[in-house]
Amino acid sequence: MSVLTKKEEIRLLSGNEAIARGAFEAGVKVASAYPGTPSTEILENFVRYEGVYGEWAPNEKVAVEVAIGASMGGVRALATMKHVGVNVAADPIFTASYTGVRGGLVIVTADDPELHSSQNEQDNRHYAVAAKIPMLEPSDSFEAKEFTRLAFELSEKYDTPVFLRTTTRISHAKGVVRLGEPAGPAFLPGFTPDAAKWVMLPVNAKRRHVVVEERMKALREFAETWDGNRIEWGDRSLGIVTSGVSYQYVKEAFPDASVLKIGLAWPLPERLFREFAAGVSRVVVVEELDPHLETHVKALGIPAQGKELIPIVGELDPRIVRQAITGEAIPVRAPEAVPPRPPNLCPGCPHRGLFFALKKLKVTVTGDIGCYTLATLPPLGAMDSCICMGASIGNAHGMEKALGPAGAGKVVAVIGDSTFLHSGVTGLMNVVYNRGVSTVILLDNDITAMTGAQQNPATGKTLRGEPARRTDLPALCRALGVEHVYTVNPHDMKQTESLLRREVARPEPSVIITKAPCALLPEHRRQKRPVYEVIPELCTGCKACSRLGCPAIEWVPFTPSDAAAAGKKPTQKGMARISPLLCDGCNQCPPLCKFQAILEKKS
């Protein structure tokens, strides 16, 4: 890493890479996170630097608690997560606002407008307001790094955690960054007992609330004078208030307009708002998602336009911004035609066989967050709900309590290994404690697959890939009080279905662990496996294999003349074909063909 420590070096970095660099330059020693798009790459890049420690935590609450502990211990600490992760971590975050910090403490919330990979589109600027924590909001990679460094300085100066908010475009787009030298430690590591600050008994918390309010007053003054909140005067007939990535869209759509750029999303600079509004003829607030800036601008009595023009749903871009403000229709080039590629489980995915069996059982399936949520889509159509990380088991238990005896044997919960350890464990504990009868299916594919193959406590490796003690999932389930725990290879369709039928009917809690590696894991892909093919002479076009929804199985349509030429009945509409390039050799499809038309390819 010596090349990364030379002064004034220029790099092209994504926002996530820039935040990792900023944390390194700020002297961060401890970082913790749960992977979640679009934040995942921050920790993966941070641990590339020397002299730092980073880890995947079981969930975001633990990640923040680790970072708080490191801050108490006198070092700068970072916790990163996607926007919904802040919901999980909100409990310690709100109290950390009261305790304050010793070493600087920064929490990155990576929001996901447009829901590229999320279950909702929440705007986490509201957390800054509710928790009374300052929030910085960079507009590009350069600011992502600089604001990260600044966040740690503000954290220690004002004795507060600091939010750094990014959105998907900031997280993943590349921009020019000027590298700097890492800072020395702010404090010597060590804990200084101070119960009035660190122990939030009510008597202490009441005093700390006063401190929090005084801190916010000081931060409001900072907001008025910090040059990250700045007016860029231009044509004064139009003044645009904006922040984050929206600033880039505004500058492209209206290069001549006057702009008030907000870099500190909370607290906000009231005097600066008034000065800007007094200098322009028309004020428009441009921001993605909720009217955070707009609400506060209007609360000052400033006439402004916002969400009556600017969409509240999804991402913006320069065209949307210009069209919304001017009303002029801007033509959009039609997208290039590409072959349709619906979302689907990967070829060889071990979850496919399980969901195929669940579909046959006609049970209600409460699902969870993971790539297996794709089983909701046709042709599998085998998942009925998905709320948030870890919710599936509680959902199944609640549904069973609601349905009573009529629901016996009709509801199952599915949850991934990482998600189970994230927050599903307590749901299973609740089933046992409250005399539930849920069948819980734990999808163990040896990795956190959805976010790009990150390690978790059940994989036996750390963030750096070092060996670690592996959480024994069957033993954990038994320790929670589940007497019936079974492990099955989901590629064995017959055994999986048989086990499901037996356990779903059981009037007691049970756990089925379907254990097979993710098909995308490099160690799995390096293994030599068979490839299957359809014997044309034997295929009757019944489509039984197509119901798996495997991308490797294609449907070749027949015209009557095609059928005749192939020696088929005139009524046969086509036949199946297996792509040798996509076939993973999972062996799920051969048992489905009662005509034995799917065989292992010999050559």
Among 9, 295, 15, which Cα is nearest to 143's? 15
Rounded CA gap, 359 and 351, in Å? 12
What is the pairing mode between strands 174-178 and 162-167?
unpaired
pLDDT of residue 336 exceeding 90: no
Mean pLDDT of the chain: 95
pLDDT value for 2:
40
Check pLDDT > 90 for residue 187.
Answer: no
Q: Is the pLDDT of residue 164 over 70?
A: yes
Say whether pLDDT at 202 is over 60.
yes
pLDDT at 238: 98
Closest by CA to 473, choosing from 462, 461, 464, 482, is 482
- Over residues 333-342, mean pLDDT: 82
Q: Is the pLDDT of residue 1 over 80?
A: no
Q: Which of 327, 418, 317, 438 is nearest to 369 (CA)?
A: 418
- Provide, rounded to the nearest whole percent, the portion of the chain with pLDDT above 70: 98
Q: What are phi and psi of 471, to 5 degrees?
A: -65, 125
pLDDT at res. 183: 83
Mean pLDDT throughout 116-136?
96
Alpha-carbon gap, residue 90 to 575, rounded angstroms = 54
Q: Cα separations (Å) of 265 from 233, 261, 341, 567? A: 20, 10, 39, 70
Residue-wise pLDDT tens digits, 33-56? 999 999 999 999 999 999 999 999
**Cα separation, 487 vs 409, whole angstroms:** 20
CA distance 502 to 499: 5
pLDDT for the residue numbered 3: 42
pLDDT of residue 185: 64
Q: What is the pLDDT of residue 331?
A: 87
Residue 56: strand, helix, or coil: strand
408, HSE (Cβ side, Cα atoms, 13 Å): 8
Q: What is the pLDDT at residue 7?
A: 54
**391-403 vs 425-433: helix crossing angle, rounded to 10:** 30
Is the pLDDT confidence value at 74 over 70? yes
Give me the mean pLDDT over the 171-176 stretch. Answer: 96
Is the pLDDT confidence value at 4 over 50? no
Strands 10-14, 174-178: pairing is antiparallel
Q: Which pLDDT tens digit goes with each residue over 138-161?
A: 999 999 999 999 999 999 999 999
Q: Helix, strand, coil proportions of the chain in percent (round to 5)?
A: 40, 20, 40
| Amino acid of residue 520 | L
What whole-number distance in Å separates Cα of residue 116 and Cα of residue 36?
12
What pLDDT is recorded for position 500? 97
What digits encode the pLDDT tens for the residues 397-442? 999 999 999 888 999 999 999 999 999 999 999 999 999 999 999 9
pLDDT tens for each residue of 5-15: 555 689 999 99
CA atoms within 13 A on the CB side of 135: 27
Give the pLDDT of residue 602: 83
Q: Is the pLDDT of residue 510 over 80?
A: yes
Q: What is the pTM of this model?
A: 0.93
The Cα-based distances of 282 to 308, 318, 327 in angstroms read 14, 19, 15
Q: What is the mean pLDDT of residues 365-391?
A: 95
Helix locations, 262-347, DSSP H: 270-279, 292-299, 318-326
Q: Rounded to whole angstroms, how far apart are CA atoms 439 and 431?
A: 10
* Averaged pLDDT, 80-106: 97
